[in-house]
């Protein structure tokens, strides 16, 4: 199984969800991407269907938006 990707932007909701996801899935199975620090990955995230952060892109290409931290517009600032 390939990795999931957890997109976040450093917000408190993101950090809480990140801890939960790592505990649930296992650190080695999730790639963590901070879109506030890696703005070049925002386009890729949007292409996958990410509309807000935190969000988890599953290995089969589905996006799970976890609670609501910030919209992609906010992330782009």
Q: Which residues bind a copy of itself (CB under 8 A)?
A: 4, 16-17, 20-21, 23-25, 29, 58-60, 62-68
Beta bridge partners of 30: 4
Count of CB atoms situated within 10 Å of the CB of 65:
16
* Distance from C-alpha of 8 to C-alpha of 24, rounded to nearest angstrom: 17
Q: Shortest distance, CB of residue 62 to a copy of itself, whole angstroms?
A: 5
Looking at the Cβ atoms of 18 and 75, the one nearer to a copy of itself is 18
Whether 7 and 45 have beta carbons less than 8 Å apart is answered as: yes
Looking at the Cβ atoms of 30 and 77, the one nearer to a copy of itself is 30
Looking at the Cβ atoms of 17 and 70, the one nearer to a copy of itself is 17
């Amino acid at each position: 199984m390939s990795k999931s990707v957890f997109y976040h932007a450093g917000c408190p909701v993101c950090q809480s969800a990140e801890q939960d996801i790592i505990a649930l899935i296992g650190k080695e199975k999730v790639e963590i991407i901070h879109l506030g620090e890696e703005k070049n990955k925002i386009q890729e995230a949007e292409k996958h269907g990410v509309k807000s952060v935190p969000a988890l892109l599953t290995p089969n290409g589905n996006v799970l938006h976890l609670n609501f931290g910030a919209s992609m517009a906010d992330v782009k600032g």
